[in-house]
Amino acid sequence: MTNPLMATEGLPDYAAIRPEHAETAVRAQIEANRSALARLLEQPAPSFASLVEPVEELQHRLNAVFAPIGHLNAVVNSEALRQAYNACLPLLAEYQTEVGQNAALARAYEAIRAREGARLNAAQRQVLEYALREFRLAGVQLPEAPKARFKALMQELSRLQSRFEEQVLDATQAFSHHEAYAAALAGLPAHTVERARATAQARGEAGYRFTLDQPNYVAIVTHAENEALRRTFYEAWTTRASDQGPTAGRFDNGPVIEEVLRLRHEAAAILGFGNFAELSLATKMASTVGEVTGFLEELARHYVPAARREFAALEAFAGRPLAAWDVPYYSEKLQLERHAVSQEALRPWFPLPRVLEGLFAIAGKLYGIRIRERPGVATWHPDARYYEIEGAGGIAGGFYTDLYAREHKRGGAWMGEVTVRKRLASGSAPPVANLVCNFAPPAAGRPALLTHSDVVTLFHEFGHTLHHLLTRVDYPSIAGINGVPWDAVELPSQLMEHWAWRPEVLPLVSAHVETGAPLPAETLARLLATRTFHAGLAAARQLEFALFDFRLHARATPADRATVAAVLASVRAEVGVVRPPPSNRFAYSFTHVFSGAYAAGYYSYKWAEVLAADAFAAFAEAGVFDAATAGRFLAEVLSQGGSRDLMEAFVAFRGRRPEVRPLLEQDGIAA
């Protein structure tokens, strides 16, 4: 039987991929790579062309085999697929560490740099520098026993991090809540109520059945007049995968967190770092633990006093002390009173087809590209679509979208790689991405209707997608987002959010779903006025997450569960504003840090937000569709991938180093 995952050229045949294909394909590609690498290292005097480029090709093929497996596990999760995915993780971790610890390969790269460095172009030199750094961070210089231990740690960490994410998904799906009578649902949006009614009906129940996906959770804590219902969902959401709440102990990530922290600390120590935060910073713009903590603490000095004033005003508005599950509800009420606009009331003006049409038009204005749907491409679900992106030289790449919440799909929003751009002697491949969100699905014969917050999320993920697709780097290891410092990888996404807040732009992405009428000028003005509403509270929340993550990983010893709780309590005492109940187990579902790529790196969102606000100030000065400014950003930053020092790229675009002032001004915070 032909294995569709082994066809690494062109688009994946998602309709043909089965769980049983996964491990077989990954094992086969790894063995093929091992054999090819051994032959390559037999060369007496390898060159960039005869060794480095073929190694880039080998990694490209392995990524192309595994990317569809990881994606399917996230968007159509099943027990069989989960087992297949988890069977692949230790194989990949073992192989990647094996390559990283290959002393002969590292010596060959060093020799090529010494012999050919002066003749190579900047991107080729950066391929070598990036690879040599990765060799060092894989422990290539270590004696054999620590090398073996480091390899084992990488395998075990990959398993544990997957387990963490699985338990969050399982806990989320294990909870649902039934309401028998419509009276208990006062204040909820009609589409949320209708979806709950349909869910109950599908289970043979009367009344209303609410699942714990993100659209339902946000709708309930923001709009439900029934405080008991708000509390029920807040507690279910903030105790997922923990020892508390409605699924207490069933999917407890507490032991997983302890083990992940212990193994990360041990891995950092083997490589000679004092803690995991130091290891994390070896690949980032920020260079020291003190630089990151100083950065976050400086922002806290600006934002936390504003957040506390905002919260005091909110409690005064409510006329009583507020529990954590009350805050979104009363915030929405206060915003409505101050600005006469609500997210739910805006939905009819943001039908998804109109938003996508406008978003693609904006990208065309900025970067001279055209985006159009390509029908007939095999996908994993009827909701998924495929779009091609065309530049001056023809089709430059493409991306899939999967935008609605559903069962067996991971929560949140993200951009994922399908294939990375390559232009090698062995062949070429365009970049392809997955753009995934979890919006409320279409209902009652209408297209999906977005809140403005959803629109901002879509713009954010599309910014990541453009970063991946518009790269002009030919080598996969540093093309797109690859090789980009992780504390700068959010720059293009957070920059793109700014267009969703511009009066010149919102008419392009809005039209009433029934009449086609534009968003009224008065409503548009009121919406724009909400941008600084509770900006202090929003920033304080992100700073709480970032300081917790960074301080936890900057400890001289790994933390147990009691220490995790103590670090979080200490951070909340310093920058927290809203008081969570004792049952809150936020860390137990913090997938960005305990199963994702943001360990000791969640500060990256605020770091990149400073970069993005300053970068957008250049557009604001010249005009948000100014071709010269957009062309300069594309040439200096967006297309460069990891081929250039990010600070150097930013200065080339902006004419100076970044400043925090534009972010503070954007948020209405006094400097």
Burial of residue 114 (CB within 10 Å: 0-12, 13-18, 19+) is exposed
Cα distance between residue 211 and residue 216, in whole Å: 7
How large is the angle between the packed helices 103-116 and 122-137, nearest 10 degrees? 150
**Alpha-helical segments (H) within 79-143:** 79-100, 103-116, 122-137
Contacts (Cβ under 8 Å, ≥6 apart) of 56:
127, 422, 424, 475, 476, 477
The answer to whether residues 402 and 384 touch, using CB atoms and an 8 Å cutoff, is yes
438 φ/ψ angles, rounded to the nearest 5 degrees: -135, 60
Residue 387 phi, psi (nearest 5): -125, 140
Q: Which residues are catalytic?
A: 461
Expressed in percent and rounded to 5, the helix, strand and coil fractions of the chain are 60, 10, 30
| Phi–psi pair at 606, nearest 5 degrees | -75, -40
CA distance linking residue 451 with residue 580, whole number of Å: 26
Alpha carbon distance 28, 376 (integer Å): 29
Written as six digits, the tokens of 90 are 């230790």
Return d(Cα 257, Cα 549) in angstroms, integer: 12
d(CA 392, CA 465): 18
Q: At 459, list the tokens.
A: 């713009």
Strands 208-211 and 414-419: unpaired
236, 298, 306, 535 from 539: Cα distances, Å: 24, 12, 10, 6
DSSP bridge partners of 29: none
